[in-house]
Structure 1
């Protein structure tokens, strides 16, 4: 699914749903018009024509070409925004294919349908994302127009609402940097600056990585949930997520950082920078699809992000220290269930994972920590990866618990 960042430290939930696409074209059935007193029917053939017209407008960058598709002023502004966004983001491999109706047709003849969408940001995405989105259609004279794209109220993990498809976005593009923000160009520039600050920190530990990151900043936490195809409220406590943008487990799928502006906007400058550096580590290491345990994946990202930060443990490990004072140190390293976004004490779990990696680096050195990370990322069992680095997992856990106990004293 995704990499999750909280206020000080972060977590990544690995997994996701592979979206299988049937590329066989089926001619939509044209339903006849409604008789007097009957509910009108969806008109998929005309809807497909409208989708093809939008495809052409996006591919050509011609915002005027969508005017005839819009049933009202709001729809006209939305469709023009999508074309303008596609031009600024250098969208390629854009396609839309009508799949099926969703629910009943309304008395005014409007209806919603599932549409297969593909898109990629040229220069950043190795292959296109492929997702099913919701499109609203409405009759216009003898044809069909497009009233809406995406569904911010969706609770289905199968349908997503890409940020750039929902409103005009502000784009900053530079070498290795692509930021799109719904709120303002100032916000986009702020995140671009955070990427620039993060890159040398990450490359100090991962010198072979060539920086290239896409950051998306939706207008709200609800819009973040919609972009991820998750029920509303799923990521309300999360500052940022690193994930494949279509939710697939394809190792060629685009991986972006998606920000929760409701949380990130409350962070102080240093906290926001730590979050962004953490997420850049996830991108640099391909963490979105990694099989390694989350304590190592998240702990390593925070190890890099906090490596050059001069903050006392009373700040960076305050929550786990309080928890240990109340309950004593945990008996084991945190597992996937502790990293669930809805779990209580999540921030303490992140801090404990970071300290586990700090202890590991103290014992085997930074190169040893990176070796363990690489081995676990390639599928080596964590215990075996630790043994190869010269430390047993039981010994690591004992030293980690002692460090937590000392911290809480």
Structure 2
């Protein structure tokens, strides 16, 4: 025990000597870790906003890190996009979105406000986007790119060069450059011009411009609408507010998924764009109309003058009824979830419900129903007033039509 006590005492003496010996000198601190520079980044954003507003590609490219040709090309392209689309953006630094790399680079959330010149009559879009920054040896901060990681909102015009095409009542913005993209943009323009005419046959009072954006890929669509990766895998096109707002009056555009859309036949491609144009005309992206009426009405508009037999237009729901029987109810939000199977059959079944209503009360009656319900009037009361039907009676008529088309003759009991 005495030995142990002596050893402990010796350790204590050694520690005292280490702490109190005047010859002990602390090591100098190592090099400090790189830090984000919000003030310098805010200045860079101010310069970038000025360059984009003026459409000055050289001034924008000069804000890239020295020697970074990819960033220079991107910034120059974005300035060209801003000029072509009449964008006068405002950018405000918010906060870092992660750590600072060993090279001093970091990403930050930036509050972006923008609007295309052809979106006049709407409020500017406003959303947080990610901007990448890099320190400059001579002092200050450079803009290294946009988007950061592979998630978060990234407007198409900020993702790289775009091709812009305009026609009567239509603006098309297609990501990319070169001969192929220019040809594709022209094809989308022609389809969109036809879509506008299709919609105005049913909704002659709609006069706003249709804006169609075509990202370069499915992932580009997800980034443009700030959806989870893979969300757009089964979608040919979607109509959405460009900043994701569910209230207010920010611009609403059609976003095309080229990976799905380009597999469609000409008639199918036209129906898809006409359907989405109907959504734009009715501001469906912010509507509380029941899903079957919202989607069925858009398909009614798109298919109204398409010369196809009902057995073709409703082929998927007919097959489903033959296999599984007649649905118990009109489709709701769960059936329209993009992750579900038989999505095409769901759309066709909703279309058939609207066709039934148009047959019973005329096209003006169907339009009136949609307008009334969109304005907040109860569906049941409006159906009764305009068509003399309860919701239950409409469902029974719809089930009977499905059973007849499928040749099953079986309708669920009351």
Per-residue CA deviations over 1:75-121 (Å, capped at 9, x if unaligned) read 000000000000111113x1000000011100000001100001001
Match of 1:406 among 399, 404, 407: 404
Q: In the aligned structure 1, how far is the partner of 2:327 from the partner of 2:298?
A: 21
**Counterpart check, 1:216 vs 2:213:** yes
The answer on whether the counterparts of 2:169 and 2:196 sit within 8 Å (CA) in structure 1 is no
SS at match of 2:110: strand
Q: How does 1:268-279 map to 2 (within 5 A)?
A: 268-279=265-276
Match of 1:295 among 292, 311, 321: 292
Q: In the aligned structure 1, how far is the partner of 2:123 from the partner of 2:313?
A: 38
**Counterpart check, 1:178 vs 2:171:** yes
The answer on whether the counterparts of 1:39 and 1:106 sit within 8 Å (CA) in structure 2 is no
Closer/same/farther in 2, CA of residues 161 and 355 from structure 1, 3 Å limit: same
**Counterpart check, 1:110 vs 2:108:** no
Partner of 2:133: 137
Report the Cα offset of residue 383 of structure 1: 1.1
SS at match of 2:99: coil
The answer on whether the counterparts of 2:105 and 2:134 sit within 8 Å (CA) in structure 1 is yes
Which protein shows a greater Rg? 2
Q: How does 1:217-256 map to 2 (within 5 A)?
A: 217-256=214-253
Partner of 1:364: 361
Partner of 2:283: 286
Q: How does 1:79-98 map to 2 (within 5 A)?
A: 79-92=75-88, 94-98=89-93
Q: In the aligned structure 2, how far is the partner of 1:97 from the partner of 1:395?
A: 55
Report the Cα offset of residue 200 of structure 1: 2.0
Q: In the aligned structure 1, how far is the partner of 2:169 from the partner of 2:226?
A: 27
The answer on whether the counterparts of 1:361 and 1:368 sit within 8 Å (CA) in structure 2 is yes
Q: In the aligned structure 2, how far is the partner of 1:42 from the partner of 1:36?
A: 19
Q: In the aligned structure 2, how far is the partner of 1:319 from the partner of 1:299?
A: 15
- Scaled by the length of structure 2, what TM-score is found? 0.87
Q: In the aligned structure 2, how far is the partner of 1:193 from the partner of 1:211?
A: 17
Q: In the aligned structure 2, how far is the partner of 1:281 from the partner of 1:341?
A: 19
**Counterpart check, 1:349 vs 2:346:** yes
Report the Cα offset of residue 152 of structure 1: 6.1
Q: In the aligned structure 2, how far is the partner of 1:43 from the partner of 1:359?
A: 63
Q: In the aligned structure 2, how far is the partner of 1:119 from the partner of 1:109?
A: 29
The answer on whether the counterparts of 2:118 and 2:209 sit within 8 Å (CA) in structure 1 is no
SS at match of 1:195: helix
The answer on whether the counterparts of 2:125 and 2:250 sit within 8 Å (CA) in structure 1 is yes
The answer on whether the counterparts of 2:196 and 2:210 sit within 8 Å (CA) in structure 1 is no
The answer on whether the counterparts of 1:67 and 1:76 sit within 8 Å (CA) in structure 2 is yes
Q: In the aligned structure 2, how far is the partner of 1:160 from the partner of 1:199?
A: 28
Partner of 2:33: 39
CA RMSD of aligned residues (A): 1.2
Q: In the aligned structure 2, how far is the partner of 1:165 from the partner of 1:116?
A: 14
Per-residue CA deviations over 1:168-190 (Å, capped at 9, x if unaligned) read 00001233211100141211111
Partner of 2:16: none
Q: In the aligned structure 2, how far is the partner of 1:370 from the partner of 1:236?
A: 31
Q: In the aligned structure 1, how far is the partner of 2:62 from the partner of 2:279?
A: 43
Q: In the aligned structure 2, how far is the partner of 1:149 from the partner of 1:167?
A: 9
The answer on whether the counterparts of 1:216 and 1:258 sit within 8 Å (CA) in structure 2 is yes
The answer on whether the counterparts of 1:115 and 1:134 sit within 8 Å (CA) in structure 2 is yes
**Counterpart check, 1:190 vs 2:187:** yes
Partner of 2:52: 58
The answer on whether the counterparts of 1:151 and 1:160 sit within 8 Å (CA) in structure 2 is no
Report the Cα offset of residue 211 of structure 1: 4.3
- Scaled by the length of structure 1, what TM-score is found? 0.88
Between the two proteins, the alignment pairs up a number of residues equal to 370
Report the Cα offset of residue 251 of structure 1: 3.2
SS at match of 2:328: coil
**Which blocks of at least 5 consecutive residues in structure 2 are unaligned?**
1-28, 408-414
Q: In the aligned structure 1, how far is the partner of 2:364 from the partner of 2:62?
A: 60
Partner of 1:21: none
The answer on whether the counterparts of 2:369 and 2:383 sit within 8 Å (CA) in structure 1 is yes
Report the Cα offset of residue 36 of structure 1: 4.0
SS at match of 1:91: coil
Report the Cα offset of residue 150 of structure 1: 2.0
Q: In the aligned structure 1, how far is the partner of 2:197 from the partner of 2:91?
A: 39
Q: Which structure's residues are more often helix, by fraction?
A: 2
Q: In the aligned structure 2, how far is the partner of 1:37 from the partner of 1:404?
A: 74
